[in-house]
Amino acid sequence: MSMAKQRRVAIVGTGSYLPERVLTNADLEKIVDTTDEWIRTRTGILERRLARGDEVTSDMAAAAASRALESAGIAPTEVDLILVATITPDMPFPSTACYVQDKIGATNAFCMDVSAACSGFIYAMESARAHILAGGVKTALVIGAEKLSSVMDWEDRATCVLFGDGAGAVVLRESTDGRGILSSFMGSDGSLSHLLNLPGGGSRYPASEQTLKDRLHCIKMTGNEVFKHAVRCMCDAGNRALDRCGLTEDDVRWIVPHQANLRIIQAIASRLGGSIERFIVNLDKVGNVSGASIPLALDEAVRDGRVKPGDKVLLVAFGGGFTWGAMLVEM
């Protein structure tokens, strides 16, 4: 009896986009009571990018998507599904994915957003993979895109120094050579939602003069609590994804973690037993770009030649919800 060949979904193209304007730690010293030294030593962030006022999430998403399609050699009309992971959609509805469809001319795609905060990109990859393996979708565009500057409280030094704007994208198709997504693990814990959220503008606190006054339309985070859970959950997810395909840390060439804090990444490196040299880190230049952080870092590493075809790459994420996940990909 012949073994059925395992069907896999592969990344066939990557792309990203960063807005031009740079906001340095020195710039932030003029806005809130902070120092370059504090930001650098507590987070590893040196600068982040800020979108123009008239530049919205779908503009950045469309730019990243076009670059990913170009690198895959695939036309927009060949795309069957667009998923956008974002916590800063252009509007509460329609989905940002629908705006992206229109901007890139992907007229044959069906489109929706994925809400899983900083884990959104991995969740969206997992969803796109399932659609492809189920047979209804041949080509999927998975995008992480954020304009976090639009939900910053520029008077809260504990959050406004952390985040940035940008977008990253991948094109997924069924693998023809066995490479692709080898395994994954996803988790959520809604009981800890109070530690990281954006309370205003939904059905709980609809926009009002009071919600504006209470600054409820901005990100709220209990940073040091989130920190501990982030390390624990990303390590656990990484190990479980590896277990699921019978591989170990030593089989992994690169780890692309969510870029929230260099100290979190260092803690994961020491717990997973890997060297920090194997981690792709770009938060020094872009800060925390939530759902866009992993595809931005991945695209940078593909384009500068660090990540090569055949490399096994472990993606790990953690975010509000809480949500977390890991995905092992053979590029």
Which listed range, 39-47, 74-82, 131-139, 247-255, lies at the site for ligand UT7 (CB under 6 A)? 39-47
Q: Is 197 one of the annotated active-site residues of the chain?
A: no
Q: Using CB under 6 A, which of 63, 218, 230, 281 touches ligand UT7?
A: 230
Residue 316 buriedness (CB in 10 A; 0-12 / 13-18 / 19+): buried
State yes or no: residue 195 binds ligand UT7 (CB under 6 A).
no
User: What number of CA atoms fall less than 13 Å from residue 102's CA on the CB side?
Assistant: 7
Binding segment toward ligand UT7, per CB under 6 A, in 33-41, 65-73, 234-242, 269-277: 33-41
Measured from the CB atom, the residue of 43 and 149 that comes closer to ligand UT7 is: 43
Query: What is the rounded distance in angstroms from the CA atom of residue 239 to the CA atom of residue 272?
Result: 8
258 carries an active-site annotation: yes
Write down the least CB distance from residue 24 to ligand UT7, Å. Answer: 14
What is the nearest approach in angstroms of ligand UT7 to the Cβ of residue 317? 9
Considering the rule CB under 6 A, would residue 288 count as an interface residue with ligand UT7?
yes
In terms of CB distance, is 226 or 296 closer to ligand UT7? 226
Minimum CB separation of residue 176 from ligand UT7 in Å reads 35
- Binding-site member from 42, 103, 244, 271 for ligand UT7 (CB under 6 A): 42
Would you call 112 helix, strand, or coil by DSSP?
Answer: strand
Q: Determine whether 282 is an active site residue.
A: no
CB–CB of 302/14 below 8 Å?
yes
Residue closest to 130 by CA, chosen among 8, 236, 297: 8
Pairing of strands 165-174, 81-85: unpaired
**Whole-number minimum distance, CB 76 to ligand UT7, in Å?**
31
The dihedral through the CA atoms of 42, 45, 50, 56 has a sign that is negative
DSSP 113: E
Comparing every residue's Cβ against ligand UT7, the nearest one is 223
Report how far residue 238's alpha carbon sits from residue 317's, in angstroms, rounded to the nearest whole number.
Answer: 9
Q: Which of residues 150-169 bind ligand UT7 (CB under 6 A)?
A: 157-158, 161
- Segments in 116-258 forming alpha helices (H): 120-134, 157-160, 209-213, 223-244
Considering only residues 91-150, where is the footprint of ligand UT7 by CB under 6 A?
118
Burial class (CB in 10 A: 0-12, 13-18, 19+), 257: buried
Contact by Cβ (8 Å): 116, 123: yes
Sort residue 241 into left (φ over 0), alpha (ψ -120 to 50) or beta: alpha
Going by C-alpha positions, the residue among 23, 320, 301, 312 that lies closest to residue 160 is 23
Check residue 192 for interaction with ligand UT7 (CB under 6 A): no
The residue from 261, 292, 323, 328 that contacts ligand UT7 (CB under 6 A) is 261
**Which of 111, 235, 258, 261 is the catalytic position?**
258
Which one is catalytic: 118, 160, 218, 233? 118
CA 254 centroid distance within chain: 16
Amino acid (1-letter code) at residue 5: K
Binding mask 66-95 for ligand UT7 (x = CB under 6 A): ------------------------------
Binding-site size, ligand UT7 (CB under 6 A): 21
Residue 204 main-chain phi, psi, to 5 deg: -75, -45
Pick one of 53, 224, 304, 305: the residue that binds ligand UT7 (CB under 6 A): 224
Active site positions, annotated: 118, 258, 288
**Which residues here bind ligand UT7, judged by CB under 6 A?**
34, 38-39, 42-43, 118, 157-158, 161, 223-224, 226-227, 230, 260-261, 264, 288, 290, 318-319
